[in-house]
Chain A
């Protein structure tokens, strides 16, 4: 299953809400959620910890827009719009944590 998150992890609960509920699978961070995939912040340890359970992806155009393309955490996969479509198509279902 694919989980889609689009809210900033430090000012909105949807990232943590997703982690509380979601079984092992794939997560894609888009829009303001891409901040969760950057190095050096308060959430980095938490994200590293859940990497074993989830394959985490980030939508690169959104990361670039926020000036953080050079700060992507190791272990997070960058995808473009085509890759995002492939993820949606490749999973049985998806949940958007709006």
Chain B
């Protein structure tokens, strides 16, 4: 058990304009099989990935926003959002699809430094 490492996925892109958010989610789901200590971080435009009420019918793409709700079943329960990013976008925890921990920039920086591996999206 001593070889468990701390993995952090840093999500900084809005969900549908680029492929980053979906790619990150797929890597997260695959990584879940390896029983590591996984944290997901949503920063900057990344917080938009968790916005409730996304309807992609009109742009004819997969609505992967509901997949974030499946993460709990994959035992991925450490989800963090940065307060400053939320504030700048007029979002609150009530706007989000899943339960998260809200951190300040300072706390986020500390959490990031503490990781063994950081994967950036």
Contact = CB atoms under 8 A, between A and B. Distances in A.
Q: Chain B: interface secondary structure? A: loop
Given A35-B45, A66-B16, A42 B51 contact: no
A41 B89 contact: yes
A61 B90 contact: no
A65 B56 contact: yes
Interface residues of A, number: 26
B17 interface: yes
B48 A35 contact: yes
Given A67-B65, A68-B51, A42 B58 contact: no
B58 A8 contact: no
Contacts of B6: none
Contact of A61 (B13, B18, B59): B59
B45 A40 contact: no
Contacts of B61: 65
Contacts of A10: 44-45, 88-89
20 contacts: A7-B17, A8-B14, A10-B44, A11-B13, A11-B14, A32-B16, A32-B18, A35-B14, A35-B89, A40-B89, A40-B91, A41-B90, A42-B87, A62-B16, A64-B57, A65-B55, A67-B54, A68-B51, A69-B55, A70-B53
Interface of A: 6-8, 10-11, 31-32, 35, 38-42, 44, 60-62, 64-71, 80
